[in-house]
Amino acid sequence: MNPEQWARVKDVFNAALEQEPGARPAFVAEASAGDHSVHREVERLLDAQRESAGFIEHSAAATLLSGRVISHYKIERLLGSGGMGHVYAARDTELGRDVALKVASLDSEDAQARLRREAQHASRLSHPHICHIYDVGRANGQLFVVMEFVPGRSLSDLIREAPLSVANARRYGIEIADALAHAHEHGVTHRDLKSTNVMITPKRGAKVLDFGLARMLDTHQIDALSQSQRSLTGEGIIAGTLPYMAPELLRGQRGDQRSDIWALGVLLYEMVSGRRPFTGATGFEVSAGILHQEPETLPSNVPAAMRAIIQRCLEKNPVKRYQHAADLHLALEEMKGLAKFPRLRIPFIPRRVTASFLLFAFGLATAAIVVYAIRSGIRSPAISNVYGYSLLEDGEFEQAIEQFQAAANRSPGEANPWDSLGEGYLANGMPARSLEAYSRALAIDSAYAPSILGRGLALAALGRYDEALEKESPDFRIQAFLLSRVGRYREAAEVLDKGRRESPDGAAEASANALLTSAWLLVEQKQYARALEQVRAAETALGPLGDGRKQAFLVLADLIGGVAESRAGNRGNAARRLASQKSRYDSGDRVESNWVAALEAEIALAQGLYDQAAASFRTAQTKGWQTLGRDGSTVFTTSLPSRDGLARVEIARGNRAAAIEEYRRLTDVGPGQRLFAALEPRHILELARLLDEEKDEALARVEYGRFLKLWANADAGLPELGEATRTLTAAR
């Protein structure tokens, strides 16, 4: 926009303020003299003026509470104002964190009620892409809500500058759809989703704000989200922001989750085009467009897949739209026509081969060559291998195996391609095939360390621990893990202690990881206080690490610490761990996202929220992988402390039969079974206990015997050994 246009914007805006509110749209359309840029900018300024309720109110609000302390929240500055009240940046003086504090208007009972409703609805939700509610209170008759402080810029600000790239629009669309799916599963619809209600944070992506117009779905409507495709609409009042309102809302019907999907379609259209799909000089014209017209054609650079997704979101008939936000999320995830090359990663290079900065520079150059080669159709063994690891870390395991197999076929005499193929099969839950590939690699080079490490984990998945422990793992933390699975906790502790002492290179990282592994082993032995000591020691050790690496370890530390607190009955501490974890994790990293979901599930189970716990435990099983050799946290990728969470949910519900079936799934190593983690002897023991409670003594004896065979060399005096031995002896 040039200086002349800005001058016209100022003149038209000031003149519009002198008009009656209802006459402003027509006046602006005429005064803009056909200049679309001027027209749009004046509309934006008028929208901002309305939302802030005018400069005078804004100024008064800014000084209303600044510097004051409400409860233990110190008010710092005004962030924004609206019809419901004012939002301030504040400091929680007890917990030492920044928060946002929303204060309802003093003279508005409706604003107080709406703010209370927002807090009630949003507090039911716990999701990385939804603004969290921390607290609700009153001070001098004023209702206030304390929320997560979300740094960044609103989506509307970003769109105003320029259309987003299709890749970013897709990413934010996935995150918003995931947030809506979570809300809908908990019976909450947003009803006012718009670009000003979405913040884009520097590291965590999109955050959905303001559930002030949200309403609860009835129980039968919640059930319908997964059981029916019928309409859930009914008569009700119109609520929301006009350009984002679905046709059914304008007709006076009561919208459902599909109205939120329409609004997300409008957002997707805005993101890729820089404009809204339905515009007009007056509210009547906008409404007419929404009800009867098709949106303008999208720019030619928008891929066909994205066009199709947006078109389906903006179907006038809600029956023709995506019926659930999860469906839209999946469609965006599986979009065809978007090159994967921007997401291509250089596989992690273990410390043993990272010799110098020159090697790192070589890795970057290699990545550039790989992108060019893939686009050009070139498939050398090295390029197939690098591309395979990129796919593997994105959870696209089958495609990764294809790349690794291609590399192995081209270089059958090299160990590295077979090693990569073994890792691909291991990640895909096929340990028998993985073992075959690792054996090929070791036949070529019997000392090839990555394949020794991978072979041990493949054997562990098959329950063949004696073979896995014949060769010491190249990673002392993996070695300790394998020892602990068969009850050899003393040796595992010695290995961890020795490894920490003998790791001068990157000692902080090795020490922290060893301490977290130790903490995990203590959690499963129900020594929660000692486990928490180890977690805190790990967090202290993490101080010298770089930010990116440190964050991942801290997310893992919060998981293990949160599980320990939850199982010890310290729910408040567990919740604080979860909040800390959510503030740190990378939502684009599948493994870290699984760690967050696992802790959410543990806390929900402890609270008796069984449906929520089950849903989060399933989310924690999302495909994800960390390259072997990266560090000892590899085992936490699949062998989570909460891997048997679904079974424990069924036990808590009193559904013993369902729990037995779940433990059978976890411990069945027969042909055709997908085994995504090490066979866990403790799960076999739990299965035996449940069968014993069911009076199925014959099968219980079989499982107790299987457990004792695996723990044949376990530490003497372990209570699990005594229990299994006594039960078998009594059965005879």
- Edge-to-edge strands of the sheet including 133-139? 69-70, 73-82, 85-92, 97-104, 142-148, 133-139
**Is residue 206 classed as helix, strand or coil in its secondary structure?**
strand
Residue 530 in contact with residue 564, Cβ under 8 Å? no
Which secondary-structure segment (H or E) carries 455?
Answer: helix 449-461
Token digits of residue 174: 């996935």
Q: Is 265 helix (H, G, I), strand (E, B) or coil?
A: helix
Is 192 among the residues known to form the active site? yes
Alpha-carbon span 490 to 716, nearest angstrom: 10
Residue 346 and residue 386 in contact, taking contact as beta carbons nearer than 8 Å:
yes
CA distances to 15, 278, 632 from 19, rounded to whole Å, are 7, 24, 67
Angle subtended at Cα 334 by Cα 394 and Cα 595, rounded to the nearest 5 degrees: 40
- DSSP letter for each residue of 155-182: HHHHHHHSPPPHHHHHHHHHHHHHHHHH
**Residue 416 CA from chain centroid, whole number:** 32
List the structure tokens of 698.
């014959």
Q: Do 128 and 593 meet the contact criterion of CB atoms below 8 Å apart?
A: yes
Q: Where are the beta strands (DSSP E) in 512-640?
A: none
Tokens of 346: 């250089």
In order of 242, 399, 404, 406, 596, the CA distances from 410 in angstroms are 59, 17, 10, 6, 40
Separation CA 349–CA 352 (nearest Å): 8
Separation between Cα atoms, residue 113 and residue 104, nearest integer Å: 9
**Pure H helices in 190-333:** 219-227, 247-250, 257-273, 283-292, 304-313, 325-333
Which of the residues 192, 256, 260, 631 is marked catalytic?
192
Nearest CA to 432 out of 601, 241, 135, 670 is that of 670
CA dihedral 152, 46, 189, 251 (to 10 degrees): -160
Three-state DSSP at 340 gives coil
Q: Which residues are catalytic?
A: 192
